[in-house]
Amino acid sequence: MTETDLNPEGSLRLLVFGGSGKSGTHLVEQALAQGHRVTAVLRDAGRLSVNHPGLEIAEGMPDDADFLAEVTAKGFDAALSTLGITHWSNTTPLADMTRVIVAALEAQHIERFVCMTSLGCGESAGQGAWTVRLFQHTALKYILRDKDVQEEVIRNSKLRWTLLRPARLMQEASKGEIIRWEGSPPDRRIKWEVSFAEAAEQMLAMLSDPDFVHKAIQIARSG
């Protein structure tokens, strides 16, 4: 399955990691609303309140290689992840988990993978208003280091990946249009935030678009 086989008008079999989180719940709901069939990998099935005939729950740990081998063997067109782990140590639990996920996807030739990381990762480090940068260097320091390693795991894989790096995630959408950029930010006023629902929407939009394969994209709202 290549990115050109992903028909944006057709129904896809999607494997979603992190589907019970704030962004992940929107991702699952939106994917189902678009007519896709979704299997959500959840550590606790009770955390997702979505009820839909096109939804299947696979309960287990996403860093359990045997469990993932069984799940991915069912066959999927693509996978998406909104996984995140909050921690305050110089360790890489999210990257380690992603390494297991990537291996499982590669083993079953599930090539298309869209993963949400964060503004501040990779070449987007240092982008944002001073308050955003301060938050990145303090409260998010260890989390961003972990996500940096996660991105490297994905970049070094055989997958047709896209990395989505949202600015500060908010519950409600604010005024302004969604802007995307690769590399340096555009020369315009930027409101360094985006809603959980909008981030999920962008992931699905990029999923079937070959222009986003092997790219890391930042998103925020215009100021």
> Which pLDDT score is estimated for 7?
52
Average pLDDT of span 187-194: 94
* Other beta carbons less than 10 A from residue 211's beta carbon: 8
> Which pLDDT score is estimated for 133?
83
pLDDT greater at residue 174 or residue 155: 155
pLDDT greater at residue 37 or residue 174: 37
pLDDT greater at residue 7 or residue 206: 206
Residues forming a β-bridge with 220:
179
Reported confidence tier of residue 140, pLDDT bands at 50, 70, 90:
confident
- H-run or E-run covering 165: strand 160-166
Q: Which residues of 146-163 are buried (b: 16+ CB within 10 A; e: fewer)?
A: bbbbbbbbbeebebbbbb
Average pLDDT of span 126-143: 84
Secondary structure of residue 184 in the 3-state scheme: coil
Residues forming a β-bridge with 179:
220
Residues forming a β-bridge with 37:
13
pLDDT digits (tens, 9 = 90+) for 35-83: 999 999 999 999 999 999 999 999 999 999 999 999 999 999 999 999 9
Q: Is the pLDDT of residue 100 over 60?
A: yes
Least confident window among 1-15, 21-35, 40-54:
1-15
> Which pLDDT score is estimated for 6?
60
Reported confidence tier of residue 132, pLDDT bands at 50, 70, 90:
confident
Q: Is the pLDDT of residue 3 over 70?
A: no
Among 79, 126, 69, residue whose Cα is nearest residue 103:
69
Q: What is the CATH number of domain 10-222?
A: 3.40.50.720
Average pLDDT of span 97-103: 98
Side chain identity, residue 165: R
> Which pLDDT score is estimated for 4?
43
Q: Is the pLDDT of residue 1 over 70?
A: no
Determine the Cα angle at 71 with ends 65 and 74, to 5°.
135
Share of the chain above pLDDT 70, in %: 96
pLDDT digits (tens, 9 = 90+) for 149-168: 999 999 999 999 999 999 99
pLDDT digits (tens, 9 = 90+) for 29-46: 999 999 999 999 999 999
Structure-block tokens of residue 49: 């309140």
